[in-house]
Structure 1
Amino acid sequence: MKNLLFSLSFLFLISNGYGQTYVPFYGTVVEQVSETNVLTNLTEFENLGIKRRGTTALQNTLDWLKAEYLSYGYTAAQIQEYSFTNAGTTCKNLVVTKVGTLYPDKFVIICGHYDTITGKGTNDNGSGVVTIFEVARLLQNIPTEYSIKFINFSGEEDGLVGSQNFVSSVVNATNPKMDIRLVFNIDEVGGRADMTNDTITCERDTGSPTSNNAASNAFTNQLITCTQLYSPLNTYLSYAYASDYMPFEDNNEVITGFFERNETPHRHTSTDLLVNMDPHYVYNIAKAATGAMLNFAVASTTLATNDLSNEYQVSFYPSPAKDFLNISLGTLTDSHYTFTLVDLQGKSVINKQIENAQLIETVSLTGLSKGIYLAVLETAKNRISKKIIIE
């Protein structure tokens, strides 16, 4: 991916000046990062071959990605493919969405590319892929205030084609434009087998437009703090360039990122293999990334004893609502359900069958009076209800 040395980097001495402290529950989650998973997934990624545009290997890798997310408990409704044309071939970005509890329309994106060039790319960027896997696995059943999008981009090795397409055709094409809190990019974090890998580079925005640079610096300082709170790694502060966060940066979004401190000489070659990298380093980076994402998305600090966890993370928003109500299917796997809105007199004012349900369905509230209602989602096996306010 990147082929220049960090010439402007400098060591950053960490402090807790941003008000961050160790959160014990976050620590218990981080300790569940599995070194066995990291090694197994790196091996599987390598065995999938050279993931170049238009190849069977690239499609097989996409299928593997989807199967992994499904195995973690994400549902088909949470997984979307976005196709784009890359040098005359069709490639796909994979997006897994987890809806937040307080800010469902504001997203923390964690991303990394899965395409490779010349070689199998176990470091560039199998290391980023397996790191995102562990974060997604561990956050699947933990409520977060902000929504999360786990994104695996294709076309990075052809000049950030996939991420650029996503920004133009999804982020800016959403009405209103997608509201992004932060983009956290993970690219080439495998280290070197012939060196001691105990430091991770944390990247901030220093380019144009400059209006997002201060926010990027603040989030990168949070990333540094989280890395040192939840992993044994040291940190090194540098600038962002030449990876999938750049189209977001150009779009005036706030970005940060991870990149290996000891840069591999095997990038973009047939020797970018597991034997030449440090899987234990990737394990430690997965711990740091998990702690950071718990912080960035503002995760709950208790285990699954609350209503949201017991009710498959189904949510109805906004509340108060006015013209429409969004229904988030959460982790329910049912593609058919009945939605009912009941007023205080027990009368059903809306009764709608939802077939082939998407993750988010929208129901019009036109003509309804202001007041308190009961929103009910019912499947063949589950009945979930929550109070909402229409104003």
Structure 2
Amino acid sequence: MKKAVVFLLTSIALQNMSAQSFIQAYKNRADMVTQTNINTNLQEFAGFGIKKTGTTANNNTLDWLKNKYLSYGYTVSDFSEDAFTYGGNPSKNLIITKTGTLYPNKYVIICGHYDTIVGPGVSDNGSGTSIILEAARILKDIPTEYSIKFIHFSGEEQGLVGSNHYVNNVAYQGSTKVLDIKLVLNIDQVGGLIGNNNNTITCERDTGGLSSNNTASNTMTQELMTCTTLYSPLQTNLSYAYSSDYMPFEAKGYTITGFYEYLRSENEHTVSDTYANIDPVYVFNVGKAAVGALQHFAVATTSNNLLSTHEATTQKPSEEIRIYPNPAKDFVTVEFQQKVKQFKIEVNDMAGNTVLTLENQEKINTAGLKNGVYTFTIKTDKGNTTKKIIINK
């Protein structure tokens, strides 16, 4: 839902590639998005008709989503439901949690709404729903350092009712912050219009509301744009976030970003928002971008993962080194499983420039480093260990 707001476009943004590099494993998984699955998801979504919050069609769509996740190998223990009432009618948000390996209590959220108000809503928001399903399918058994929550909101079309309820009753309880959320990636209306030149996706950053989270959102949105160009054929347009399910998160200070179609289809909230009128190939390509970006933000494992904390080592497992936290701010700690008296540390940026050299320091002051990705190489008489750390202040 993006109603009653003037859509302002910025110029095509230039990509800052210095902090991110192409990762073949991420591309391989992004390419696992299939046009067949996207088409099937969109058509099945359309088949439920108008999915107004609290209606039988809305509830049937929720059951369809659950069955999709079960077919991917998720279990009921991975599910949670956030129930709320609108206009006297009950509805539910569906949350599927995939637990991270290093930061199980810090979450990357990918979300979109499944309710509609007029017509089947295949673009708004069957497109986002289909992409989230594909991302969940592909990443089911891929370890990620951060936990991922795949969230399907209801009540969006009535004024972000479902996402407001989730943020104020699950993410927060009263004034107490319950969920530590690294990022919220929202996908809303990315269906395009058949016949348009749908080669560009809008990436949305936080420019209003609370000012304290704008800088982090801008950084994450730039990374989203880079991931899009790395892992999909799409170009990117930089715009601003508004009027969708990330806004209640923004109001609580969380970092948000999102995808939205670049050329407006103008079919939202009409009987014309059907499978016949959208561009399924566009949804397919946005799906590739989303899977690539989700791996980046959640730090998916791979042997050549430039963001992994277990990337390359010439040491024995018993001599493994931990470097944390990741992402880091002003300090990074080096921890040896077995005590090492003499060691050297070399920190390089992604251009290969050495920015720090230290000896025998287990706590590294990184306050002088700019946001980005750095290699930390620990050299001992047993060998070298190189790991990648994100600096994000």
User: TM class, shorter-chain normalised?
Assistant: 0.7 to 0.9
Tell me how far apart the structure 1 counterparts of residues 180 and 297 of structure 2 sit (CA, whole Å).
Answer: 15
Mark the CA change 1:212 to 1:227 in structure 2 (over 3 Å): closer, same or farther: same
Code of the aligned partner of 1:20: Q
User: In the alignment, which residue of structure 2 is the partner of 1:44?
Assistant: 44
| Alpha-carbon offset, residue 119 of structure 1 | 1.0
Code of the aligned partner of 1:218: T
Mark the CA change 1:122 to 1:26 in structure 2 (over 3 Å): closer, same or farther: same
| Alpha-carbon offset, residue 265 of structure 1 | 1.8
Deviations 1:102-127 (CA, angstroms, capped at 9, x unpaired) = 00000000000000001110000000
Tell me how far apart the structure 1 counterparts of residues 110 and 292 of structure 2 sit (CA, whole Å).
Answer: 13
Q: Tell me if structure 2 keeps the 8 A contact 1:9–1:239.
A: no
Structure-to-structure mapping, 1:199-218, within 5 angstroms: 199-218=200-219
| Alpha-carbon offset, residue 55 of structure 1 | 1.3
**SS of 1:66 mapped into structure 2:** helix
Tell me how far apart the structure 2 counterparts of residues 137 and 26 of structure 1 sit (CA, whole Å).
Answer: 15
User: In the alignment, which residue of structure 2 is the partner of 1:317?
Assistant: none
TM-score by length of 2: 0.75
Tell me how far apart the structure 2 counterparts of residues 85 and 54 of structure 1 sit (CA, whole Å).
Answer: 8
| Alpha-carbon offset, residue 176 of structure 1 | 5.6
Structure-to-structure mapping, 1:96-111, within 5 angstroms: 96-111=96-111
Code of the aligned partner of 1:133: L
Tell me how far apart the structure 1 counterparts of residues 54 and 250 of structure 2 sit (CA, whole Å).
Answer: 28
Tell me how far apart the structure 2 counterparts of residues 148 and 125 of structure 1 sit (CA, whole Å).
Answer: 21
Structure-to-structure mapping, 1:252-263, within 5 angstroms: 252-263=253-264
| Alpha-carbon offset, residue 14 of structure 1 | 1.1
**SS of 2:21 mapped into structure 1:** coil
**SS of 1:11 mapped into structure 2:** coil
Structure-to-structure mapping, 1:220-299, within 5 angstroms: 220-299=221-300
User: In the alignment, which residue of structure 1 is the partner of 2:70?
Assistant: 70
Code of the aligned partner of 2:262: R
Q: Tell me if structure 1 keeps the 8 A contact 2:9–2:237.
A: no
Tell me how far apart the structure 1 counterparts of residues 48 and 202 of structure 2 sit (CA, whole Å).
Answer: 28
User: In the alignment, which residue of structure 1 is the partner of 2:85?
Assistant: 85
Q: Tell me if structure 2 keeps the 8 A contact 1:189–1:282.
A: yes
Segments of structure 2 that go 5 or more residues without pairing to the other structure are: 305-393
Tell me how far apart the structure 1 counterparts of residues 234 and 152 of structure 2 sit (CA, whole Å).
Answer: 25
Deviations 1:122-163 (CA, angstroms, capped at 9, x unpaired) = 000000000101111111000000000000000000000000
Q: Tell me if structure 1 keeps the 8 A contact 2:108–2:298.
A: yes
Q: Tell me if structure 2 keeps the 8 A contact 1:52–1:58.
A: yes
**SS of 2:213 mapped into structure 1:** helix
Q: Which runs of 4+ in 1 moved over 3 A?
A: none
| Alpha-carbon offset, residue 194 of structure 1 | 2.5
Tell me how far apart the structure 1 counterparts of residues 144 and 158 of structure 2 sit (CA, whole Å).
Answer: 34
User: In the alignment, which residue of structure 2 is the partner of 1:153?
Assistant: 153
Deviations 1:23-65 (CA, angstroms, capped at 9, x unpaired) = 0111111111111000011000000110012311101000000
User: In the alignment, which residue of structure 1 is the partner of 2:390?
Assistant: none
Over the matched positions of the two proteins, sequence identity in percent amounts to 56
Deviations 1:63-121 (CA, angstroms, capped at 9, x unpaired) = 00000011111111001111001111101000000010000000000000000001110
Structure-to-structure mapping, 1:127-206, within 5 angstroms: 127-173=127-173, 177-206=178-207
Tell me how far apart the structure 2 counterparts of residues 53 and 220 of structure 1 sit (CA, whole Å).
Answer: 30
**SS of 2:173 mapped into structure 1:** coil
Tell me how far apart the structure 2 counterparts of residues 74 and 183 of structure 1 sit (CA, whole Å).
Answer: 21
User: In the alignment, which residue of structure 2 is the partner of 1:316?
Assistant: none
Tell me how far apart the structure 2 counterparts of residues 250 and 135 of structure 1 sit (CA, whole Å).
Answer: 26
| Alpha-carbon offset, residue 302 of structure 1 | 4.5
Tell me how far apart the structure 1 counterparts of residues 124 and 303 of structure 2 sit (CA, whole Å).
Answer: 35
Tell me how far apart the structure 1 counterparts of residues 267 and 77 of structure 2 sit (CA, whole Å).
Answer: 38
Q: Tell me if structure 1 keeps the 8 A contact 2:188–2:260.
A: yes
Code of the aligned partner of 2:96: V
C-alpha RMSD of matched pairs (Å): 1.3
Deviations 1:318-347 (CA, angstroms, capped at 9, x unpaired) = xxxxxxxxxxxxxxxxxxxxxxxxxxxxxx
Tell me how far apart the structure 1 counterparts of residues 218 and 271 of structure 2 sit (CA, whole Å).
Answer: 36
| Alpha-carbon offset, residue 5 of structure 1 | 4.1
User: In the alignment, which residue of structure 2 is the partner of 1:54?
Assistant: 54
Tell me how far apart the structure 2 counterparts of residues 240 and 78 of structure 1 sit (CA, whole Å).
Answer: 29
Tell me how far apart the structure 2 counterparts of residues 121 and 169 of structure 1 sit (CA, whole Å).
Answer: 28
Tell me how far apart the structure 1 counterparts of residues 239 and 185 of structure 2 sit (CA, whole Å).
Answer: 14
**SS of 2:254 mapped into structure 1:** coil
Mark the CA change 1:197 to 1:5 in structure 2 (over 3 Å): closer, same or farther: farther
Q: Tell me if structure 1 keeps the 8 A contact 2:99–2:147.
A: yes
